[in-house]
Structure formats: structure tokens, C-alpha cells
Amino acid sequence: MVGQARRRRGRRPSPFVRRAGPSTHSLALLQALLVTFLWSTSWVLIKIGLQDLVLPPLTFAGLRYVLAAIVLLPLALPVLYSVPGGVRASGVLGPIALLGLLLYAVTQGAQFAALVHLPAVAVALALSTTPVLVALVGLRGHERPTALQVVGAVAVVAGAALYFGPLKLPAGADIGLAIAVVGVIANAASALLGRRLARDHLPSAGGVLGLTALSMAVGSAVLLASGLLIEGPPRLPAEAWLIIGWLALVNTAFAFTLWNHTLRTLTAVESSVMNNLMLIQIAILAWFFLGENLDARQLVGLTIALAGILAVQLRAPGRPAARPVAAERDSAGAATGDAPPP
């Protein structure tokens, strides 16, 4: 017995057994960077579809997410069927449907509509303030913001005010800004609801994939139906279908799945930092492809706002900053508003 124990202790680990280490962590960081880059290119593709192809915004958004849901649902169904008692029996179907309405029908619909009137960077900056609004709501709940988060929230407001400058907006921009504000409020509400679902009902919702696919299916169906009702049946050229197909298959279905995979390895801080890189990426892509130039005042405002957003997300209230996202049971964050893809 002693000899067997010694032999077991002396065995070398098999080279065929994969263990989480620096290479796995580096790979997860690269994968997250790829996802944020794909999500950043979405803003350029959406703007091209709205400006150059004059696509109706609500129908455009609805088609994109309906196609993505069609791809994700077959992957989620085996997981959903394995849930004891089913989703309906768990009483979580109603909240998932509400999440879909908030995150896709309202948030994404408002984002596409706002891009008709505003530059891509302006809409991205508006939606990036979602964590600040969530932190402020936490003042009335159990997640009390820290002093750093309060300072960060003030910095975001100051940076956004400096970016937009004196409100001498061009014709139609005030409408776009109002629509963007509606999107921010809906996005914050979906983030709060998504956190509750992920914390309390994630297993009964079929896990991250089930929660994503079900909420996307409900929200995108309502969004597409609303677009067809308000905007009428569209006549889409071949270029439009290429953009919609790429956005649905690559920037949504593939990117969602890969992002949720990285959340198993990256910490909450790392995921937040990677997600906030989108603001910089969007500014560069919009300048290169759309000709959206930023003056010195806007660059300073964007930098201050980004620093404030990072400060808000650096440490979750009452939680250690280095805890893995998966351990916090918030792994559905990307699917529930914490990292809203465009």
C-alpha cells in the first residue's frame, strides 16, 4: 500500500491532460479581443446599411437577431430539454421573455434607430454608460456602489458632456439622442434583470446558451414584427442580405458563443476592460471607414468617459475584484446586457 502511494505521488502528469495555465488565459484574452473587434465592426456595417443602403432600422435589426436566434436555438434545445421540469415549470419563462423585449426589441431597436441620426461613436458612448446607470440604481438596492464607482460615474457624465459639447445638434440629432437615451434605460433594466436571472435561475433557464437563445428569440420576433408593421415589407438588395447574414452568423451567434466561453477563464475585471475597448475600436473604425472625425475636445471627453466607465466596473460592490466571472454566477452577463453587442 505504501509503495503504491509512493508510486502514485511520483507519477508525472500526462502531457495529454490539459490544465488551465498562462497559455489558456492568453488564448481567452485573444478570443475576447476578437469578439470585441467583431462587435465593433458591427457599428460600421450597421451604419453602412442605414446610410448607403437606406435599410429600415427596425426591420434591419429584427432580421439580424431573428436569424441569429434561428442558429442558436437548435444548440440550446438539448440543454433546455435536460432542465428538470422544463422552463415553463420553473416559472422563469416570463422573466426571460421580458428580458428579450428589453434587451433586443427596445435596446437594439433604439440603437439601430439612433444610428440613423447620430454618429456611431456618439451612440456607442451613450450605450457605454449603462454600467453607470446600473451602479446608480444599486444605491437603492443591495449592490451599493463604492466610492471609486461614484467618482467613475461623475467622470462618465463629465466626459460625455465634454464630448457632446454645447448642445448645438444638427437637425434630427436631438431625436437620435432621445432614442439613444431610451436604449440606455432599457439596456440598464435588462442588465439588472439578466443578473437576477443568472444569479437565481440560470440552471432552470438552460444555462447561458438557453437564456441567450430564448430571450433573443422572443425579443427579435417582436422587433421584426414591429419593423414590418411600422416600416412595411422591405426590398433588400443582395448587399443588404450579406450584411445581415454576417451580422447574424458571425457577429452575433458565433461572437456570443465565444464570449461566453471566455467568461469561464477571464475575471470580471478583465472582461469589463476588454468590453470597454470597443469604444476605442469603434472610434478608429468609424474614422477609417465612415469618415467620422473627432476633434481634440471630443477625444478628451471620450478618454475621460472611458476612464470613468472602467472605474465603475473595476470592482463590483462587495465583491473581490479578482474573482472569476463564472464563480460569480454572472456568466450570462454578455447575454443579458452587461456587454451588449451592437
Mean pLDDT over 12-23 rounds to 49
Q: What is the 3-state secondary structure (H, E, C) of the chain?
A: CHHHHHHHHHCCCCCCCCCCCHHHHHHHHHHHHHHHHHHHHHHHHHHHHHHCCCCCHHHHHHHHHHHHHHHHHHHHHHHHHCCCCHHHHCCCHHHHHHHHHHHHHHHHHHHHHHHCCCCHHHHHHHHHCHHHHHHHHHHHCCCCCCHHHHHHHHHHHHHHHHHHCCCCCCCCHHHHHHHHHHHHHHHHHHHHHHHHHHHHCCCCCCHHHHHHHHHHHHHHHHHHHHHHHHHCCCCCCHHHHHHHHHHHHHHHHHHHHHHHHHCCCCEHHHHHHHHHHHHHHHHHHHHHHHCCCCCHHHHHHHHHHHHHHHHHHHCCCCCCCCCECHHHCCCCHHHCCCCCCC
Digit-coded pLDDT (tens) for 285-341: 999 999 988 888 889 988 998 888 888 776 544 444 444 333 333 333 444 444 455
pLDDT of residue 45: 96
Residue 2 lies in a domain: no
Give mean pLDDT, residues 170-182: 84
Give the pLDDT score at 330. Answer: 36
List, for residues 251-276, the tens digit of each pLDDT value.
Answer: 999 998 888 888 788 876 677 778 87
How many other C-beta atoms are found inside a 10 Å radius of the C-beta of residue 83? 18
Dist. CA 76–CA 226, nearest whole Å: 26
Q: What is the pLDDT of residue 255?
A: 92
Look at residue 4 and tell me if it is in a domain: no
| Nearest-angstrom CA–CA distance, 321 and 245 | 38
Question: Residue 173 corresponds to which cell in the numbers above?
Answer: 440629432
Q: Are 56 and 109 in contact (CB under 8 A)?
A: no
| Alpha-carbon torsion angle 68, 69, 73, 74, nearest 10 | -40
Residue 129 grid coordinates: 454608460
pLDDT one-digit tens code per residue, 134-149: 777 766 655 566 788 7
- Please say whether the dihedral angle defined by the alpha carbons of residues 294, 269, 219 and 98, taken in this order, is positive or negative: negative
Q: How far apart are CA 221 and CA 63, in angstroms?
A: 9
Task: Tell me how many domains the chain contains.
Answer: 1
Residues 231 and 109 sit within 8 Å (Cβ to Cβ): no
Q: How confident is the model at residue 242 (pLDDT cuts 50, 70, 90)?
A: very high
Residue 29 falls inside a structural domain? no
Residue 23 lies in a domain: no
Domain-located, residue 238: yes
Q: Is residue 28 part of a domain?
A: no
Alpha-carbon span 109 to 284, nearest angstrom: 24
Q: What is the pLDDT of residue 90?
A: 59
Confirm whether 33 is domain-assigned: no
Q: What pLDDT is stored for residue 151 in this prediction?
A: 83
* In a domain? residue 36: no
Backbone angles phi, psi at 145, to 5 degrees: -65, 150
35 has a pLDDT exceeding 90: yes
Are the CB atoms for 226 and 61 separated by under 8 Å? Answer: no
Structural domain boundaries, residue 252: 43-335
Q: What is the pLDDT of residues 55-95, one digit of tens each?
A: 999 999 999 999 999 999 988 877 666 665 555 555 778 88
> Higher pLDDT residue, 96 or 246?
246
